[in-house]
Every structure is written in structure tokens, then in C-alpha cells.
A and B are shown apart, each in its own frame.
Chain A
Amino acid sequence: MAEICYEVVTDACPSSVYESTPAHSRRRPRFQTVMHEDWEKNCKRSKQEALATRYSSIPRSSREDFSDQNVDVSSPRYGVSSVCGRRREMEDAVAIHPSFSSPKNSEFPQHYFGVYDGHGCSHVAARCRERLHKLVQEELSSDMEDEEEWKTTMERSFTRMDKEVVSWGDSVVTANCKCDLQTPACDSVGSTAVVSVITPDKIVVANCGDSRAVLCRNGKPVPLSTDHKPDRPDELDRIEGAGGRVIYWDCPRVLGVLAMSRAIGDNYLKPYVSCEPEVTITDRRDDDCLILASDGLWDVVSNETACSVARMCLRGGGRRQDNEDPAISDKACTEASVLLTKLALARNSSDNVSVVVIDLRR
């Protein structure tokens, strides 16, 4: 397996998984007072993180959101891997914002994770990476959100994000975007969005499109999102009720064109392709981890397999050892995400692959 993985990765995109980039300086602030030993540990962890985050740069604002609390206690453990794979262009984007929101009167921050799989071009997914977490932050209104409030918050955020990418006047196209057209009325670019906000007692997932969030609980997968495929019975009813049509071309497609029934953007396919997210809220228990990934992974790796790989990397999924070095947990998450990416490429995934693994052990 290792040899096969290595060969495939080399052929597909050799530098993307192994090449290290100095992205760590934007992830966590350096504490100048740390002793030499701690400094070395931070460096190793940063390099390990940089290894897997080549294609998922995190904006500086994440540092502004950073909590001043003891990072070893409140900071989430996670790993990211995001690769181009066999596609010509990289159109996936990943956004991670630890402590992006701190409800008043609470000592525990909330953490944001998002995976966006673009199609048609990369600029809608890039825009989601830059903006969607800020919209969620703005829409969060109360200290202790109940289920309905979370749904409203997410639905409003996704709707605002969709309007932003549709109205060209307000947004600036990313410099590396190659769109010749840029015509507001004929926008045929879109993105999935699977977003998770993790609080001390709950996991909130909002999904729009065919990326996916899967919780690993006692080694078993618990889907926290459902893929928005056009032939899902309720989606098919909604599309046809709106006057659209689903044609099975090489797979079920809205108007024969788009293989998902919900997305951010894709203005030309509205109202058939909706930007309304499906929101799930799950109480936390003794969970192993949460996996967010694009369909480049899920098309070729089952929920069960992904959970097994992640759990194995987190060493059996037991309760985290007292005083376990946070660097160890981060490394395990990164290894899990990289291994899942390699597995997807080995199984001939034909798409970009983006994987986020979040350690939920307490």
C-alpha cells in the first residue's frame, strides 16, 4: 500500500503533499518567552502543519481571532490535507479559524472549520474561504444558541455568502482567477460548502452541496451531513416543483448540467440549485474525531474506511492521555488527513481532494 500510495502521489502532484512551506507563521502566534525546548516543539509542529496545508492558506485574521487563553487547553487539534490530484486546476479551499467566536459570559471559544469544493472556476470557493466564517460570526447573536437559532444563523450566513458571490460589484475577483467573462447575469461558477462550528458541548454542521461531514464515534461513522445529489427524492421533488428537470446524463444532473442540487453561486441555475444549507446539531460525547472532506475523498472512500484510518492514526481513539503533548495530537490529525488523501489518490479519485480531521477527544 505504501509503495502504491507513494507512486500515485508522485504521479499526481508530487510536491503537494511533501513540500513544506512556511505557512505556520500565520497559524499561531509565537510566544517570545517560550523556553528553547518549547520553541523546538512548536517548530516541529508548525512544520508538520505546513506540510499538509500547502493549498489551504489561512488568512491572517485567524491570528486576530486567536484566544489569549492557554493554548494547550482550549486550542483544537486538527490536521489538513488539500491536493490538486488529477484535475487540471485546484478549485478546493479550506478555512480553519480556531476561537473564531467567543460567546459572552463563556470561558470557552467556538472553532470554525470549512471545506469548499469549487466548480467552473476557483473564485467562488476562494471567496467562501475568505468570507463565510465572518458572516457566521456576524449572524451569531446570543450567548447560548439553541437548535433553531443555529439553523437560522447558518441559513442567513449561506444566503448572504451566495448574494456576495453573485453581486460582482461588491467583490473583487481573486488575482489568480482566469475568468474571461465576469458577467453578473451569466455566472456559471459555484462551490459546495460544508462548515462545522465546534463548541464545548455541541457540533454544528451546515452543508450545501456534495462535500460531507462524518463524525467518528466509538470507531463507527455517524454522518452529520447528507449529500445534495439531484436524484435524492426530496431534492428531485423540489427541483421539479420549481420547474426544473433532472437528467441522468453520465450521472443525475440538474438540467443535465450540474451534478449537485445545492451550491453557493451558480446563479444561472437558480432556483433549481439552492444555497440553503442543511443544518445538524449533535451533542458531544466520547467522540474520536470529525472528518470534513470534499467529494474527491468520499467518492472513493467509504465513511467506515475513513473512520478506521482516522481512528488508527489517533491511536485507538481512547481518552486522550493526561498531559499528552498537543503537538502529538496535531501530528496524528495531520497524518490522518494526509493518509486519507493518499488513499483517495490511490483509488483513482479524479477530483481535487481536501480533508480536515479534528480531534474531539476530551
Chain B
Amino acid sequence: MEMIGGDDTDTEMYGALVTAQSLRLRHLHHCRENQCTSVLVKYIQAPVHLVWSLVRRFDQPQKYKPFISRCTVNGDPEIGCLREVNVKSGLPATTSTERLEQLDDEEHILGINIIGGDHRLKNYSSILTVHPEMIDGRSGTMVMESFVVDVPQGNTKDDTCYFVESLIKCNLKSLACVSERLAAQDITNSIATFCNASNGYREKNHTETNL
């Protein structure tokens, strides 16, 4: 297990407890002999509802995943439906066919299996969860993503884990950047709203004085 971010000691301690609990309850994968598995953690300084709103979009993973150029879903995103993902050039894949296995808006759980496409990740299954977390005194999010996948012929378990972890790290880092940017915009909008309300108050006061 790897933890990314979470330098703060208190957060790390508390996060470790939540991490262990979440691992036991939600990140169970049945890992066979020819497979490898791992879990990654990322702390994001953005509210959990914002982060979840990005990751739950089964039909628009390109909103935060940097390696996806396009995604097509037939019908409404619901359990069992498929998405066809086009991968950007330069990577060892061109397409990926993925099925939505689990989408829990209460517990914030997203489960996806890769069932086809032009790549070497066979029997890939992943679970992503988001959890509220206090980071530097503000409400933030801890994201956990775990996966299990076949080890391709010619590669080692270590190779395969390293490669998939590299991809997931890029995805989570990008998710952090997008979320934190949107969170900053939210704060800016809130300040703007407050200023408008304040102006309204002063106008009202002025009117009363005239009367």
C-alpha cells in the first residue's frame, strides 16, 4: 500500500485508521496466482462532494483523467452499462471498453471493470472510494483506488503493478488539480455573492434614510 500526500502527522494518523477500515470493508479483491493488486491513496484539498461529482461521471472520465481523449456511453449511465474510451496517442493503448459495476452515491464507491479494448490489461477491476478528511484545518478528501489485474505474459507482477500504479497516480494527481481549481472557483464565487448582497443591503439602507 502506498500513501501519497498526507504529510501532516495528525491527518496521517487519523487517515491511517480510516484507510485500514475502508480497505477491510470496501477494497476487497480476490487476487489469483497470475494477478497483481495494489491500492493508492491521495489527499485532496477540496470538499468530498466536489471530488465525488467528478469521479462518479462514468460518461465523462476525460474531465479529470489526462490520458483519455473521448468517451462514448450508450444510454444512461447505470449499473452494467458500457463505455468506450479512446486513449490519447503515445500510450500503450488506443481503446478501452469498461463496464460500470458499482455506483454508490451514499457511500461514495465507484467500481469499474475493463472488459475489452486494444491494450494488455486483462481482467482489470478497480474500486475507487472518496472519504471526508480534515486537511490543514479545512474540509478535504481522501481518495483511495485499488485494482487487480492479470500479469501479462512476459512481464512480472512488479512490472505490472508499477505500470498500473503510474497511471493511477497520474489520474489522481490530475483529479486533485481539477478539484482544487474548482474549489478555488467556488470560493471566488461565494465572495462575489457576498459582495453583491452587501451592496444590496447598503442600497436598502439608503432608501430607508430617504424615507
Contacts and interface: CB of A to CB of B under 8 A. Distances in A.
Is chain B a partner of chain A in the same complex? yes
Interface of A: 87-89, 91, 118-121, 178, 180-181, 183-190, 245, 247-251, 253, 255-259, 268
B90 A87 contact: no
Contacts of B120: 249-250
A268 B90 contact: no
Interface in B60-83: 62-64, 66-67, 69
B137 interface: no
Interface string B125-138: 00000000000000
B159 A256 contact: yes
21 contacts: A120-B67, A120-B89, A181-B64, A181-B174, A183-B66, A183-B174, A183-B178, A185-B173, A185-B177, A188-B88, A189-B88, A247-B162, A248-B155, A249-B92, A253-B92, A256-B92, A256-B163, A256-B166, A258-B91, A259-B92, A268-B173
A180 B86 CA distance: 14
A181 B66 contact: yes
A184 B181 CA distance: 11
What's the dominant secondary structure at chain A's contact region? loop
A259 B91 CA distance: 8
A258 B177 contact: no
B31 interface: no
Given A180-B63, A185-B173, 16 more contacts: A89-B89, A119-B88, A121-B88, A181-B64, A184-B177, A185-B177, A186-B177, A187-B66, A188-B170, A245-B162, A248-B154, A256-B162, A256-B163, A256-B166, A257-B163, A259-B92
B167 interface: yes
A189 B66 CA distance: 9
B159 A181 contact: no
A258 B90 contact: yes
Interface string B25-41: 00000000000000000
A119 B62 contact: no
A121 B135 CA distance: 35
A17 to B, nearest CB: 21
A180 B62 contact: yes
Contacts of B64: 181
A186 to B, nearest CB: 4
Nearest to B172: A186
Q: Would you list the 10 A-B pairs with minimal beta carbon distance, nearest first?
A: A119-B90, A256-B163, A186-B174, A255-B166, A188-B66, A183-B177, A120-B88, A249-B92, A119-B89, A185-B177
